[in-house]
Structure 1
Amino acid sequence: MEIKVASVDSVIIYFDNNISKEISNKVKASYAYLKSLNNEAFIDIIPSYSSILITYELLKYDFESIKKYLEEELKNVKVDDDTNSKLVEIDVYYGEEVGFDLQRVASINKLTIEEVINLHSSKVYDVYTIGFLPGFAYLGVLDEKIATKRLETPRKKIPKGSVSIADTQTAVYPKDSPGGWNIIGKTTFEFFDKNLEALSQIDINTKIKFNQISKEEFLKQGGII
């Protein structure tokens, strides 16, 4: 663990340089612990893949004092095996009408489309971090057999609900947006909802399971082709 200056009133706690389940669990446990302290001097606590950004009140801490405080407090963190994580299941229509890059992903990885779908929908994914857009959850880790690089030229508009993959991660676009991820399907699941107090049903303690559904089921749920 290493603590560095991020700005005049913020620090970053680095747990590692790699993205892995082990490091993700350390980040999640440390984030939960820091939140539980209810330290009024903390303005914001933002977790990422392998780090946590903390913005704090300058009248309360300087860098050396907050560094010492965090080092002492984080000694108390216990990393669980995340068995208490919430599982959210998401229905996906993996049709080529909505999965613009489904055939591309299959061809690059020398698989059939059905094999790509089976590999993507057979895993339970961890939420590593949320960013880029409100409700955009970075999920991992993909089966290496379908890991695929981003598009060389990003699309100007990717439809809301598009299920995508890039390298070893997968995600769902919570709204219409430009983007360069490979689109393999679509869902009606709402990743961002202004009516919810937390704005999303998904957080870093969530696990995601994608379930394949038919075109008919997708349309019944209000899906748009």
Structure 2
Amino acid sequence: MQNIKIVPEGDASLLIQFEQVISPEVNQKIAAAAKLIRAQQISGIIDMIPTYCSLLINYNPLVISYEALYKRVESIVRMESHSEAGKKKVWEIPVVYGGTYGPDLGAIAEHAGISEEEVIKIHSSKDYLIYMLGFLPGFTYLGGLDEKIHTPRLASPRVRIPAGSVGIGGSQTGIYPMDSPGGWQLMGMTPVKTYDPDRETPILVEAGDYIRFVPVTEEKYLEIKAAVEAGTYEVTVHEGED
């Protein structure tokens, strides 16, 4: 268990601390450990919350004690298999960039010293690892943004950012799952609902998955949006080895 610590976090939570760096390798260990723990179906575990460098386990102390849970978790994270590569799940998220959908695209391009078209090309050219979900239900913290388009947050956050907005905040990019205040620079919008409380699985993606942004025209955006509202749209998903 090199560089891994297990500590109590309050009276009903256990925290597994991995290496304190933000990296795909650490994230893979966290996601794999969560998968192994979930597979054990340990009675008393309420939920698990992965973050950049740790995995928080909330449990019912009336069902399982901290000591008993510690032993179970310790034996699981000792398994070498939790660091092995697994299948890479990539969600294709259509995005209409610029204009009223991405009012800060010009500012992002100006900050980078490149054209808006080049910003779009860079932003949509790779798969982004979902390190964790937070801030809002289904809000994705994505890693791997090209340094060329790193952009500071707005000096004055907006009071309302529409659901589906795709933005950049410093070295990260992400999708706003619902209307909310926010300070990220907005570059586009997706019609896909990453959070829908009426859906059987409200949050579309999971930490450890990947997102690939696919540029679309406004016409295509509106077409997909109508299909999403009608419940007939299915997000394209690719799976393969890491």
Relative to the length of structure 2, the TM-score reads: 0.85
Out of 12, 20, 23, the position equivalent to 2:23 is 20
Does structure 1 retain, via aligned residues, the 8 Å contact 2:28–2:208? Answer: no
Letter in 2 for 1:112: S
For residue 46 of structure 1, report the CA deviation from its aligned partner.
1.3
Residue 97 in 1 paired to residue 100 in 2? yes
- Structure 1 unmatched runs, 5+: none
SS at match of 1:23: helix
Distance, in Å, in 2 between the alignment partners of 1:58 and 1:175 is 34
- Aligned residue in 2 for 1:178: 181
2:141 is matched with: 138
Is the CA contact (8 Å cut-off) linking 1:10 and 1:55 kept in structure 2?
Answer: yes
Give the root-mean-square deviation of aligned CA atoms: 1.8
How far apart, CA to CA, are the structure 1 residues paired with 2:69 and 2:223? 53
Return the alpha-carbon distance in structure 1 between the equivalents of residues 68 and 127 of structure 2: 40
Per-residue deviation, 1:99: 0.9
2:85 alignment counterpart: 81
Deviation for aligned residue 1:60? 5.1
Matches of 1:72 and 1:174, distance apart in 2: 36
2:60 to 50, 57, 60: 57
CA–CA distance in structure 1, aligned partners of residues 201 and 54 of structure 2: 22
Out of 190, 194, 206, the position equivalent to 1:191 is 194
Percent identity for Structure 1 against Structure 2: 38
Secondary structure (helix, strand or coil) at the match of 1:33 reads helix
Q: 1:144 & 1:179 partners in 2: Cα distance? A: 22
CA displacement at 1:58 relative to structure 2: 2.1
What's the counterpart of residue 235 of structure 2? none
Q: Which runs of 5+ in 2 are unaligned?
A: 227-242
Question: Cα offset for 1:96?
Answer: 2.5
Letter matched to residue 31 of structure 1: A
Distance 1:62 1:221, change over 3 A: closer
Distance 1:160 1:26, change over 3 A: same
Could you tell me how far apart the structure 2 residues matched to 1:134 and 1:55 are? 17
Give the count of matched residue pairs. Answer: 222
